[in-house]
């Protein structure tokens, strides 16, 4: 739930230079920015809080990086889906966001590239939570890209900490459990 994560995000804004947000909670932030999110996960009562957090990040000079595209489906997947049954939407007001009837289930390729670019210079990264429904193809690509980025920065000397059951499960799924500095379940 977004409501349980927003107090943590607020606390992190005092500790970090850059905060990258993906996964289901990102859609509440997108909606707070006035971007259509279709039927994506959103806690309506947290939209004002998300707006406040974005303002606070800006005021404190922190970089809050949000998804710029999303891989979507018309329904929550019951099993593996074909890529042609999905659609990728840009998460901008100008592009119209996610069309009605579609739900964001993973960050898109533009977002994966953006997150990689932003994180490559990091010296410390805490990863807590997948970028999408990583258990089901093709909605595993965003999380796989993040895990690959973690492996790259770890090899470059960064300290990478992965915590939480889903995050650890993602490392295991992509056979990268040893690719990061620390794993906490």
Segment 138-177, tens digit of pLDDT: 999 999 999 999 999 999 999 999 988 899 999 999 999 9
What is the rounded (10 degree) CA torsion for 31, 89, 13, 8?
A: 70
Both tokens of residue 19?
């905060």
Q: What is the pLDDT of residues 93-142, one digit of tens each?
A: 899 999 999 999 999 999 999 999 999 999 999 998 899 999 999 999 99
Q: What is the pLDDT of residues 73-93, one digit of tens each?
A: 999 999 999 988 999 999 998
Contact 28, 50 (CB under 8 A): yes
Both tokens of residue 94?
């100008």
Per-residue burial over 28-55, b = 16 or more CB atoms within 10 Å of its CB, e = otherwise: bbbbbbebbbbbbbbbeebbebbbebee
Both tokens of residue 29?
């932030």
Is the whole-model pTM more than 0.95? no
Helix/strand/coil for 116: helix
Contact 150, 180 (CB under 8 A): yes
């Amino acid at each position: 739930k977004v409501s349980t994560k927003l107090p943590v995000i607020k606390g992190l804004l005092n500790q970090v230079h850059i905060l990258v947000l993906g996964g289901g909670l990102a859609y509440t932030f997108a909606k707070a920015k006035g971007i259509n999110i279709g039927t994506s996960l959103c806690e309506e009562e947290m939209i004002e809080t998300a707006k406040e957090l974005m303002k606070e990040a800006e005021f404190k000079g922190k970089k809050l990086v949000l998804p710029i595209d999303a891989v979507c489906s018309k329904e929550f997947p019951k099993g593996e889906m074909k890529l042609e049954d999905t659609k990728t939407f840009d998460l901008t007001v100008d592009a119209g966001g996610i069309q009605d009837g579609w739900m964001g289930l993973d960050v898109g390729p533009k977002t994966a590239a953006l997150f990689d670019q932003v994180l490559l210079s990091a010296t410390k990264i805490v990863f807590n939570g997948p970028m999408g429904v990583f258990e089901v193809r093709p909605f595993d690509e965003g999380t796989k890209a993040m895990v690959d980025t973690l492996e790259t920065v770890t090899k470059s000397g960064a300290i990478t900490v992965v915590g939480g059951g889903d995050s650890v499960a993602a490392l295991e799924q992509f056979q990268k459990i040893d690719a990061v500095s620390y794993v906490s379940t």
